[in-house]
Amino acid sequence: MKRGEKIIEGVLFLCALITILTTVGIIWVLLKESISFFTEVSVFDFLTDKEWTPLFSDKHFGILPLLSGTLLTTVVAIVVALPLGLTIAIYLNEYAPKSFRKVVKPLLEILAAIPTVVYGFFALIVVTPFLQSIFPGLSGFNALSPGIVMGIMIVPFISSLSEDALAAVPSSLREASYGLGATKLQTSFKVLIPAASSGIISSVILALSRAIGETMIVAIAAGQQPRLTLDPTVPIETITAFIVQVSLGDVPHGSLEYKTIFAAGLTLFVFTLILNNVSFYVNRRYKLKYD
Amino acid sequence: MIKASTNQWKDQLFRIYGIGATFFGLLILGIFLVGIVIEGFSRLDFQFLSSLPSRLPGKAGILTAWTGSLWIFGLTSITSIPIGIGAAIWLEEYSKKNRLANLLEINISNLAGIPSIIYGILGLEIFVRMMKFGGSLLAGSFTLSLLILPIIIVSTREALKAVPRSIIQASLAMGATRWQTIWLQQLPAASSGIFTGIILSLARAIGETAPLIVIGALAYVPFVAKTPMDEFTVLPMQIFNWVSRPQHGFIVNAAAAILVLLIFVFIMNGIAIYFRYKSSKKVKW
Amino acid sequence: MNPIEVEIEKINDAVLEMIELVKAQLSRSRDSFMNSDEELAHQIIHTETRVNSLELTIDKYCENTIARFSPVATDLRFVVSMLKINSDLERIGDYAESIADYVLNINHKLEKTLMDNVRTDEMFNLAIEMLELIADAYATDNSKKMKKLFAKDKVLNQINKEKSQVIAEYVLANPSTIHDCLYLHSTIKKLERVGDHAKNIAENYIFYSDAKVLKHKK
Amino acid sequence: MVNRVMETNKFKIQAKDIHAYYGTHHVIKGIDMDIKPNSVTAFIGPSGCGKSTFLRLINRMNDYIEGFTKTGDILLDDKNIYASNVQVEQLRKEVGMVFQKPNPFPKSIFENVTYGLKIQGITNKSDLEETAERSLRQAALWEEVKDDLKKSALALSGGQQQRLCIARTLAVEPSVILMDEPASALDPISTAKIEELIFELKEKYTIIIVTHNMQQASRVSDRTAFFYMGELIEYGKTKQIFLNPKKEKTENYISGRFG
């Protein structure tokens, strides 16, 4: 009996250990290839060079253009998603009848469940032509269209998590505000949002991290032209799109071009890691407040 | 008094704005779906489902893609479900509050936030190169298993947590061992929650493209995979491939393939939502 | 203050009042009996109704406390003891009234020598002293003082034992006084009973305050 | 006669100088206690006084609590239950437990009652049925549920659920039953039924009950133990504790004048 229990516990522990091995594997793989990449390209160049042309004959390995592309699409996405998501969260939490919320919340979550390749199609085939009819100067590949679509995709992240945070505000606070004659709007903005701020911020950061790591939408609709720009109407390339580009091509294993995806991957990994942990930290502090 | 009525007015305005915002996303989703259906529905026939890929849009089909997706679904389930549930049980029921457990905890939250493409890079090095699986179904499903493992673990833990402590105490007090308690009480009680989490994560795996691109899954596979070591393609890969082609015929094909993919995904989400709804009604602790 | 304490306080005050009242009744019965004061006897009989109503009040308080507060420990012992003490006090009040009644019925003044021989005065005084002891011990919450009462009860019993012989000899000598002598005999008997009740009160009080059962122990 | 005296002097449970800690928090401070067989012992005391912790020490339910440590021994039938060769699962079959809130498993009534047997590997249908009936009868629930044993236990009323939990405990034939405020979530009628049941069960079992209800303690128990701040302040015959407590703290607590 006792031994059987021990064996079961051991097997279960091994299952849990796989998660650690995954992380170790990711870090090891990224570092191993990146280190060999940085023996050929200096870290300084990598961080400061304004051009990224590893696949050209005149090779430049500056990550900045890829970062700016990533930043651009991410910012557009957040600009779309934040007001929308927050409004939905407040509306569902304070205004909407319970039955309505019960139906709408899972429906909204479907937005996050749709495969990203489908969003990419949407951005390229529907949104870009539509935007071009408004801004004639818009290029066929650009940061704006995938950014907007990405924004729609991450709306449920912000709305769901923020709604949870708002719902977690003790009802005594809410009632105190109503008791003083405040409207729902005033209660929401003056009491609930400040009280739930950490939860909301953490949801936004999580959404940001999601947008940075998003691949297919930008790979399809943003173009493959790394350029250091803040103009959302021209083709750009993000880190993720670059990795896809290299993976699709016939780059020989072990070549410098091949190693670039690891250096780019490492950059992406570091960014998302930082954002995720900031989000956890903020959220944890917030939870402590009400326990 | 005037102030109060202004406030009321603002309040009403925000209500309308809130409804608008809520439906904006859904509206766009609706428009898009209708567009896809209009574009792709006519293409969706038996020939499309049963044909191999082709250079001609009118002859091309998604046989290899949807069979590949089914393979991936099956193989990923087999690897990720037992490991995910096992890990969740260990973390929730066996781990002591020490540094190792803390590390695992933080680690899993972090894994859930790592972009899928990074998993692709991991799969490329470990499964494709080191284990020499090549761009096979096995490499693909292993990679996707690692990708969805954190989601399964987190949702399983949530489901286990929702089982009242009193039930566990009662079982232990009856002289049941830890494992008997988990097996006979906690897992059955948490089953619908666990199942919901698994379905949702598998739905995600079905829709993933980026990691498979990185591990070298091919867009053009002219045969149906027979063994896990075969090369493969999946629906999202096929869609991606078609989207990036200039001819309009391929766009129509992409729309039709999207319809098939969405049917897959929506059915799985529907099942998950149904289960969540059912379990929320069933047991009142 | 705790609600049960309010109730306990009410009982306490009422019992204290009862003790004082009964003590006064007894001491007036002595004066009335010793001086053949018929006026005073009427007053005693009149006051008896107050004793009776106070008994009912105390009973009511105790019942209320039991019903509403389920007293335990000290409180429980207090309420139970007070119920019993209350009825003992009421009985003492009854005896005072009976003695007053005898005063009204005695035809001729009893001879002083006879009274002295049966130690009537001493007996009255002992009984009153016992009640004074009770009043004092109760008011100061001192169970040791209560114990002093047992010695007095023994004296009372002794006197009571001797009385029949003394009275019988007197009656043989003065047969015409037989009627009045029977009253004297009864009075002495009543005073002895007062002693018994006083002793009961002391025992019940000690049960309350020290949780010791002294009853039926020698 | 001599035999009987010997018999009553034998203790079912003996606690010897028990100290317990949650982390560094000292929750039980040197408790010694002897409990006679076939008796009902009530643990009373304010919340956080250690009575539940002490109760759970008797079937080692505290074992799984993070950071919990204890010193001292508890003997059950003169055997140390914390000895290294003791199997916790076996101990818990000997020392059953009923909890504050009724906690039936979300299964049928029958499955609930036979759970303890199933985990011991007993699958013989007639054995299971026999035990189910016996323990449901003992728990005074048989007449109410005999026709729908297949019904979900969650469909029973709170009082019935608690009696089901008691039946479930009885099914594995323990000799000691620990009850942690078993009636605190029930209405007065259900409470009365549970108390009646405790009274009947006393014939066969040694029962220890934690309760916040003074009247309940005084009604059902033979002996009462008053805990305060992790110490056993007073332990004695229930009648004595409620009529004439020796310690002022006990007096103040049971008469509601605490603090």
Do B255 and B242 form a contact (C-beta atoms < 8 A)?
Answer: no
Burial of A164 from C-beta contacts in 10 A (0-12 / 13-18 / 19+): middle
Q: How many CB atoms lie within 10 A of CB D117?
A: 20
Whether residue D6 has pLDDT greater than 80: no
Paired sense of beta strands D206-210 and D40-44, if any: parallel
Domain that holds residue C65: 3-210
Rounded to whole angstroms, how far apart are CA atoms B101 and B90? 10
| Domain count along chain C | 1
- Band of residue A279 on the pLDDT scale cut at 50, 70, 90: confident
Do D170 and D135 form a contact (C-beta atoms < 8 A)?
Answer: yes
What does pLDDT average to over chain A? 88
The ipTM (two decimal places) reads 0.74
Angle at A231 between CA A226 and CA A234, to 5 degrees: 55
Give the distance from residue D62's alpha carbon to the nearest chain A alpha carbon, in angstroms.
Answer: 19
Using the structure block, give the residue that is written with the tokens 């009744």.
Answer: C25
Rounded to whole angstroms, how far apart are CA atoms B77 and B69? 12
Report the run of H or E that residue C45 belongs to, with start and end.
helix C38-69
Q: 3-state DSSP call for residue C14?
A: helix
H-type alpha helices, chain A: 2-40, 43-48, 64-90, 98-113, 116-121, 128-134, 144-167, 171-179, 184-186, 193-195, 197-213, 216-221, 239-248, 256-290
Greater confidence, A194 or B143?
B143
Rounded to whole angstroms, how far apart are CA atoms D18 and D31? 5
Quick check: is C218 in a domain?
no
Helix count and strand count (H, E) for chain C: 8, 0
The answer, for B37 touching chain A at a CB cutoff of 8 Å, is no
* Chain B residues inside the 8 Å CB shell of D67: 97
Selection from D160, D144, D145, D139 nearest residue D205 by Cα: D139
Quick check: is C90 in a domain?
yes
Q: What is the pLDDT along chain B (285 residues), one digit of tens a residue?
A: 456 677 788 888 888 988 888 888 788 878 888 888 888 888 888 888 888 887 777 788 889 999 999 999 999 999 999 999 999 999 998 888 778 888 888 899 889 889 999 999 999 999 998 998 888 999 999 999 999 999 999 999 999 998 888 899 899 998 888 899 999 999 998 998 899 899 999 999 999 999 999 998 776 777 888 888 888 899 999 999 898 887 888 888 999 999 999 999 999 988 888 887 777 665 544
Chain B 40-79, residues with CB within 8 Å of chain A CB atoms: none
Q: Is the dihedral of CA C82, C83, C85, C86 positive or negative?
A: positive
What pLDDT does D35 receive?
Answer: 95
Domain range list for chain D: 10-80+87-254
Selection from B198, B259, B238 nearest residue A114 by Cα: B259
What pLDDT does C116 receive?
Answer: 86
Q: What is the dotted CATH code of the domain comprising D10-80+87-254?
A: 3.40.50.300
Do B259 and B238 form a contact (C-beta atoms < 8 A)?
Answer: no
All chains having 3 or more CB pairs closer than 8 angstroms to chain C: D
Q: What is the pLDDT of residues C21-46, one digit of tens each?
A: 999 999 999 999 999 899 999 999 99
Q: What is the pLDDT of residues A150-193, one digit of tens each?
A: 999 999 889 988 998 888 888 777 777 777 777 888 888 888 88
Rounded to whole angstroms, how far apart are CA atoms D255 and D250? 8
Q: Do C76 and D242 touch (CB under 8 A)?
A: yes
Rounded to whole angstroms, how far apart are CA atoms C171 and A107? 115
Please report the DSSP string for B203-218 in residue order: HHHHH--HHHHHHT--
By mean pLDDT, which of A11-25, A62-76, A239-253, D137-151 is the weakest?
A: A239-253
Q: How many CB atoms lie within 10 A of CB D129?
A: 14
Q: How many CB atoms lie within 10 A of CB B25?
A: 25
Rounded to whole angstroms, how far apart are CA atoms D202 and D191? 17
Q: Do D257 and C2 touch (CB under 8 A)?
A: yes
- Report the residue of D93, D103, D123, D178 to disrupt the B interface, i.e. the one with the largest count of B CBs within 10 Å: D103
Burial of D92 from C-beta contacts in 10 A (0-12 / 13-18 / 19+): buried
Rounded to whole angstroms, how far apart are CA atoms D189 and D195? 10
Q: What is the pLDDT of residues C129-181, one digit of tens each?
A: 999 999 999 999 888 888 888 999 999 999 999 888 999 999 999 888 888 89
Rounded to whole angstroms, how far apart are CA atoms A15 and B82? 8
Rounded to whole angstroms, how far apart are CA atoms B121 and B143? 9
Q: Do B94 and A13 touch (CB under 8 A)?
A: yes
Q: What is the pLDDT of residues D191-236, one digit of tens each?
A: 999 999 999 999 999 999 999 999 899 999 999 999 999 999 999 9
Rounded to whole angstroms, how far apart are CA atoms A60 and A43? 12
Give the number of beta-carbon pairs within 8 Å between C and D.
Answer: 31
What does pLDDT average to over chain D? 89
Whether residue C114 has pLDDT greater than 90: no
* Chain D residues inside the 8 Å CB shell of C4: 255-256
Residues counted in chain C: 218
List C-alpha distances in Å: C40 to C5, C30, C94: 39, 10, 16
Chain D 83-112, residues with CB within 8 Å of chain A CB atoms: 87, 89
Whether residue C218 has pLDDT greater than 70: no
Rounded to whole angstroms, how far apart are CA atoms C11 and C90? 15
Q: What is the pLDDT of residues D123-155, one digit of tens each?
A: 899 999 999 999 999 999 999 999 999 999 989
Closest chain D residue to the Cα of A2, Cα to Cα: D87
Q: What is the pLDDT of residues A239-266, one digit of tens each?
A: 999 999 888 887 788 888 888 999 999 9
Selection from C101, C149, C106 nearest residue C129 by Cα: C149
Selection from B177, B188, B175, B182 nearest residue D152 by Cα: B188
CB contact set of A200 (below 8 Å; sequence gap of 6+): A86, A89, A158, A161, A162, A165, A166, A193
Q: What values do phi and psi take at B50, rounded to 5?
A: -110, 5
CB contact set of B269 (below 8 Å; sequence gap of 6+): A110, A113, B199, B200, B203
- B23 token code pair: 């439906």
Paired sense of beta strands D231-237 and D223-228, if any: antiparallel
All chains having 3 or more CB pairs closer than 8 angstroms to chain B: A, D
What pLDDT does C11 receive?
Answer: 95
Q: Is the dihedral of CA D188, D192, D193, D198 positive or negative?
A: positive
Rounded to whole angstroms, how far apart are CA atoms B167 and D106? 9
What pLDDT does C135 receive?
Answer: 94
Do C85 and C201 form a contact (C-beta atoms < 8 A)?
Answer: yes
Interhelix angle B116-123/A2-40, rounded to 10 degrees, is 90
**Buried-exposed string C150-186: b where 16+ CB fall within 10 A, e elsewhere:** eebbeebeebbeebeebbeebbeeeeebeebbebbbe
Q: 3-state DSSP call for residue D223?
A: strand
Chain B 185-224, residues with CB within 8 Å of chain A CB atoms: 200, 203-204, 206-210, 213-214, 216
CA R_g for chain A: 23
Rounded to whole angstroms, how far apart are CA atoms A99 and D248? 58
Q: What is the pLDDT of residues D154-199, one digit of tens each?
A: 899 999 999 999 999 999 899 999 999 999 888 999 999 999 999 9
High-pLDDT (> 90) share of chain C, %: 67
By mean pLDDT, which of A113-127, A131-145, A165-179 is the weakest?
A: A165-179
Greater confidence, D88 or C95?
C95
List C-alpha distances in Å: A116 to A190, B73, B237, C97: 36, 17, 11, 106
What does pLDDT average to over chain C? 91
| B–D touching, 3+ CB–CB pairs within 8 Å | yes
* Chain C residues inside the 8 Å CB shell of D242: 72-73, 76
What's the whole-number mean pLDDT along residues A16-24?
Answer: 93
Task: Tell me the one-letter amino acid at A262.
Answer: F
What's the whole-number mean pLDDT along residues A229-243?
Answer: 90
Q: What values do phi and psi take at A196, rounded to 5?
A: -95, 10
Task: Tell me the one-letter amino acid at A201.
Answer: I
Do A281 and B113 form a contact (C-beta atoms < 8 A)?
Answer: no
Rounded to whole angstroms, how far apart are CA atoms B214 and A239? 13
D90: left (phi over 0), alpha (psi -120 to 50) or beta: alpha
What pLDDT does D105 receive?
Answer: 87
Q: Do B171 and D115 touch (CB under 8 A)?
A: yes
All chains having 3 or more CB pairs closer than 8 angstroms to chain A: B, D
Q: Do B22 and A12 touch (CB under 8 A)?
A: no
- Report the residue of B163, B174, B282 to disrupt the D interface, i.e. the one with the largest count of D CBs within 10 Å: B174
Rounded to whole angstroms, how far apart are CA atoms D79 and D13? 9
CB contact set of B141 (below 8 Å; sequence gap of 6+): B71, B72, B75, B76, B79, B228
CB contact set of B242 (below 8 Å; sequence gap of 6+): B250, B251, B253, B254, B257
Rounded to whole angstroms, how far apart are CA atoms C99 and C122? 16
What pLDDT does B205 receive?
Answer: 93
Strand order in the sheet with D40-44: D95-98, D176-180, D206-210, D40-44, D223-228, D231-237
CATH number at residue C189: 1.20.58.220
Give the distance from residue A228's alpha carbon to the nearest chain B alpha carbon, in angstroms.
Answer: 23
| DSSP-derived secondary structure letter, B247 | S
Selection from A21, A271, A31 nearest residue B113 by Cα: A271
